[in-house]
Structure 1
Amino acid sequence: MVRDTNRRDVLKATGAAGLAGLLGFSDLGLAQDQRLSWHAGGTGGTYFPLSNELKTIIEDATDFTIQVQSTGASVENVGSLAQGDADFALIQNDVAFFAFNGTGIDAFEGNAVSSLRGVATLYPETIHVVTLADSGIESLSDLEGATVNTGDLGSGTQVNALQILETVGITTDDFEEQNASFAQAADQLRDGDVDAAFVVGGWPLGAIEELATTNDIRIVEIAGDTREGILNASPWFATDRIPAGTYNGVDEDVPTVSVQAMIATREDLSADTVEAVTNAIFDNAGELTIKADFISSDTALDGMSIPLHPGAERIFGAVTVQTPAPGNETMGNETMGNETTQ
């Protein structure tokens, strides 16, 4: 009876498989392949809501289903791509550079993520140094001795904050560092738990907008010799400004610096998939409401810091990226096509 029962089970399973084949579902991997994992950032920043708008565009224009996941952003997203847990992710162009070249960040030193590939750059990610108006903090040098939220531990925000502070002579020994998300940083400022917070993202940032409705805020300028020093020390930064009126109570332009937000993927993802997703985004960029003025195929290679995925190359062509010169941290230029150079 045991053998007969097993035989019946086998026949039933075989019959089910045959029925699935007749109905067109025999390739069970097909449905799996149509689902793509997209890693974004915290809900209080720009990555998460923008990723959901991109999800809508991609799903409307293709047969793919996009699963958007909230994460700790750039550095975490690189790890997700490297491990195959994400198909696409939003990251900063400087973090992408560090990851691909195995330099600049402790997590990447000697651990280059050679499988990381670029899809397109999207928009400037502006450095916000936020404090309350009555904190007495008016310049970066005033952060010495303060309690400062530098962003999620290991995030691109933290990387940028520490780079900027070091440029003006402030090390981690000179202030009390807190690490929390954008939304938590706003709560910490509101509650008096930190004196200032670094927040990196395309303005306006929801967490800062909300804070500015309940508290008088100041966004600390990064200007003059300080800005020039930062630009000279870290060439992935660019000059930027936060326009007057972006946040309640901020009535004048605030000079600062920025990096670039970009879409990244992994080398082993199908070129057809990357091409289809990329075309869907840039053919329908006019449907975006977030950062719509910046996202265009005309600027999709601005600040690209790693080799393009072959699927993106079909659309944009090869790109010249920055690579570290041997033996020092100065960066030279090298044209990157399909070949990987480390």
Structure 2
Amino acid sequence: MRALLLATALVSFASLAAPARAAEPDVLRFGAGSKTGGFTKIGEALQAGLEDIDAPFALDIQHTAGSCENIQSLLRGELDFGLVQYDVAAEAFKASRVSAEDDDEDDGLTGGYMCQISSKLARGADLRVIGALTDGAVHMLVRRPVRLNSLDALGDHPIYIGKDGSGSFETGKVIVGAAGKTVEELNALQMGSSEAFEAMHRGELLVMVRTTERGDAGIAKLIASGVASVNPLPDDVLNRLIDGYPYYRVCQIEPKTYPGLEFGLPTVCVSTVLLTRVPAGDDAEAARLRARNSDAVEAMLGAIRSAARDPKNRELGIKLAWRGFAEQEPIPLHAVSEEHEFRKNRNSVLAYGGLGLFVIVLIWLLRRYLKRRGIIRDGLNSTFEGHLSNPLVPFAAFAILVMISTVIVWSIEHDSNAHLRTLDDSFWEINTFATGNFSAETVKTSTARFIGAVATIAGLGFLAWFTAALTNLFGRDQTRLFQRLRGHVVILNFREDMLPLIRLLRAPGPTQIRSIHVVVSDNLPKRVRLHLAKIKGLTIHHQNPEVPDDIAELRLPRAARVVVLQGDLRYGGKGLRYHPLRITRAVHQACGRDVRPRPMRAPDAPPNAAPDESGVLPAAQTTLATTGHRTPRRALPTTLVEAGDHEPRELFDPFRGWVIPVRGRELADNWLATASHDPGFAQLFHDLVSFDEDNSEVYTAEVPSWFVGKPWRLLRRVLYRAQNRGGAIPVGLFRGRSNGANAGAELERRLLANPPLATEVLPGDRVVAICEDEADLIEILQRSEKLAEETAKTIAGA
């Protein structure tokens, strides 16, 4: 008795001390393939994935003949999960939807669907797709040097389309059927894939059709040996195959996939999916089985992700996909997979939406910054009328139309249309449509045809718009698509008798070409406008010069000179509608709309500072600040205002820092009076008036060193004596930059028109002269050293 109690105590103590035995994992029946096939390798990878995520499930991998045996076992309820080609699975799902009333077949279990599945066997089976795992392409290998355009050329030559019972064999049968033949009409060999490769090496096989992953090692080895090459599937076979069996999708074998493959080859692709059957019934046992199935699907999705991340499984090409792996996907997703897909799509929408919002805010901030800096123009320049006259707008609209239509049509058609396999194919097809060559034969779906028709109509409209805008641009002889608005000359309130002013300013020389912008009034005669339109390098604007918003787009702070003219008195009171003083005020306010910090050179700037941008008349920018020290600075251009004799000078005193009133009649009287008592000025005035060279302009050139320190008399006489070398009329000297803040006073100090003969030429001076070309003036000065010595001796002798 004592021994029995001791034994009982020892057993109890051992049972308490032993660790709790782990629960056995739930075993799932998994249909794979042959022992060395790809399906079995995928099953082993999923088993390892279940172990990695510590799932309470384990796989019982059953070796089968392939997709056909797997789908039949799933329909009979002998498997929980199975790897099946999607075309075989879709055919079985189609068979399961046939009702008993519509089924006239006998009681046998064989039918006309793939893998000889009958509707009686498949009826009632609730098949669900967990996800597509791998993607395979149909490879049509032909022994070199044969190339086939049709299967009719095979005759009695042996062909291999797969092993009976495999998904590759079923795919080969429908391909042969799309070519108008049956397997019985062909000399199809029954063997394994390894035996088929050996027969191809021995020259006993002409054609081999195999569905496998692109880049398969066995096919690559066969092609590298030079025995066979990949033959493209004919387009008519592809189209008939997709129309009859939309479980495939049109794809291509990319270049460089196999040795020596330099071009993409059209073919069809089919995916391998993980399939399950949801238990049916309303009782408690059925509900328990459905809950077990959902838990198992959740674990399988985790195992798929784990296997896809494992580097050891890279050669298997596992990539989980829920949509887009076939032209049509009739089999619904499992509820658990749908939930995962919804979460993924929601996260993608939130991520891309946040990115798009960030880009919009960034563009808005950048636009605001550039507008505050004055780099981009006002919104006034973005009016509808401005877009109509800009040829870049329809060109950009045409490009955007083509790009959007290309992506949409490709996304619709690339799985089912052999002509639109890639984005490049879709791009060129849409370009053909947009240029007026629409064809309903190229695209298959009604949506794609509608988009193609819209692209055709809109493309022709954009091309007509572009042609009209370009014709208008060339018709005005303004061939620059982008107007230069820096260092330009602006003439406001132009009138007819100022055409010589345009002629004087339009060609300042080969080294400096300034853009001229002329604002004309409504009462300017049409013939004058037509004459202005013929002048090259001139842009005409039809705005009100007294409205600041109308002239703000001319970028007045960047202008080299602004010229404000009076109205034409010959057309009555209408010509005085725009007053120069009101226009000057509008210029001042328009510059306030282009407020931005401008680099201003201090009065004590070093001598090596940046040189003046202008040639003859520098842009004397004046900075005016309102109250306070932190207000933005306003850059105002030097403005020449034509003032009447009756207007007092005090009217322009508030603008004396940047406005120079020019009294034309008073100047003319002064010139005549000066010419009557000054012989030198009389000669200059006579030369200017009588100089009849039509191409003459006012130019400046740097004075050579041998004139520095010499009197103006010597330089003037040298230019007169060198007239036989091109002709030049000396006007005066232009001094180097001064530090004056008053634009008018600075101009008076720097520009010396007809100076006294004893005026000394200083370093940095430029000579002002009228000649035919700036190059002629420079050439005269460069060759004047010897002539200057002779002229100096003549002057000294006199």
What's the TM-score once normalised by structure 2's chain length? 0.34
Amino acid at match of 1:300: W
Asked if 1:91 is matched to 2:107, the reply is no
The answer for the alignment partner of 1:49 in structure 2 is 41
Identity across matched positions, percent: 24
Amino acid at match of 2:65: G
1:146–1:176 CA contact under 8 A, matched in 2: yes
More strand by proportion, 1 or 2?
Answer: 1
Amino acid at match of 1:105: M
- Given the alignment, which residue of 163, 169, 173 partners 2:174? 163
SS at match of 2:272: strand
2:127–2:277 CA contact under 8 A, matched in 1: yes
| CA shift for structure 1 position 255 | 1.3
The answer for the alignment partner of 1:308 in structure 2 is 333
1:42–1:181 CA contact under 8 A, matched in 2: no
| CA shift for structure 1 position 89 | 1.9
What is the rounded CA distance, in whole Å, between the counterparts of 1:43 and 1:206 in structure 2?
Answer: 18
| CA shift for structure 1 position 207 | 2.9
| CA shift for structure 1 position 201 | 2.0
- Given the alignment, which residue of 28, 31, 36 partners 2:24? 31
- Given the alignment, which residue of 109, 122, 143 partners 1:112? 122
1:122–1:300 CA contact under 8 A, matched in 2: no
Q: Deviations over 1:121-172 (max 9, x none)?
A: 2343211112222456454343343222221213221221111111111223
The answer for the alignment partner of 2:309 in structure 1 is 286
| CA shift for structure 1 position 229 | 2.1
2:75–2:122 CA contact under 8 A, matched in 1: no
1:119–1:308 CA contact under 8 A, matched in 2: yes
What is the rounded CA distance, in whole Å, between the counterparts of 1:42 and 1:48 in structure 2?
Answer: 7
What is the rounded CA distance, in whole Å, between the counterparts of 1:107 and 1:171 in structure 2?
Answer: 15
What is the rounded CA distance, in whole Å, between the counterparts of 2:71 and 2:338 in structure 1?
Answer: 20
Seen in structure 2, the aligned counterparts of structure 1 residues 148 and 251 have a Cα distance that, compared at 3 Å, is same
What is the rounded CA distance, in whole Å, between the counterparts of 2:245 and 2:257 in structure 1?
Answer: 27
- Given the alignment, which residue of 196, 205, 228 partners 1:194? 205
1:55–1:66 CA contact under 8 A, matched in 2: yes
What is the rounded CA distance, in whole Å, between the counterparts of 2:299 and 2:275 in structure 1?
Answer: 15
When the two chains are superposed, the root-mean-square deviation of aligned CA atoms in Å is 3.4
Where does structure 1 lack aligned partners over 5 or more consecutive residues? 1-14, 318-342
What is the rounded CA distance, in whole Å, between the counterparts of 1:193 and 1:97 in structure 2?
Answer: 35
1:94–1:305 CA contact under 8 A, matched in 2: no
Q: Deviations over 1:26-60 (max 9, x none)?
A: x9xx5251x33433334676434344333333321
The answer for the alignment partner of 2:59 in structure 1 is 66
Number of residue pairs matched? 296
Seen in structure 2, the aligned counterparts of structure 1 residues 182 and 37 have a Cα distance that, compared at 3 Å, is farther
The answer for the alignment partner of 1:8 in structure 2 is none
Comparing 151-160 with 205-214, which one deviates more in the overlay?
205-214
| CA shift for structure 1 position 24 | 4.5
The answer for the alignment partner of 2:293 in structure 1 is 270
1:127–1:200 CA contact under 8 A, matched in 2: yes
Amino acid at match of 1:156: G
What is the rounded CA distance, in whole Å, between the counterparts of 1:225 and 1:183 in structure 2?
Answer: 30
**CA radius of gyration, larger in:** 2
Seen in structure 2, the aligned counterparts of structure 1 residues 205 and 40 have a Cα distance that, compared at 3 Å, is farther
What's the TM-score once normalised by structure 1's chain length? 0.73
Seen in structure 2, the aligned counterparts of structure 1 residues 283 and 55 have a Cα distance that, compared at 3 Å, is closer
1:124–1:260 CA contact under 8 A, matched in 2: yes
Seen in structure 2, the aligned counterparts of structure 1 residues 248 and 188 have a Cα distance that, compared at 3 Å, is same
| CA shift for structure 1 position 238 | 0.8
Amino acid at match of 1:98: E
What is the rounded CA distance, in whole Å, between the counterparts of 1:45 and 1:213 in structure 2?
Answer: 23
1:96–1:305 CA contact under 8 A, matched in 2: no
What is the rounded CA distance, in whole Å, between the counterparts of 1:261 and 1:44 in structure 2?
Answer: 17
| CA shift for structure 1 position 200 | 0.8
The answer for the alignment partner of 1:146 in structure 2 is 157
Where does structure 2 lack aligned partners over 5 or more consecutive residues? 1-10, 96-111, 280-291, 343-798
Seen in structure 2, the aligned counterparts of structure 1 residues 24 and 265 have a Cα distance that, compared at 3 Å, is farther
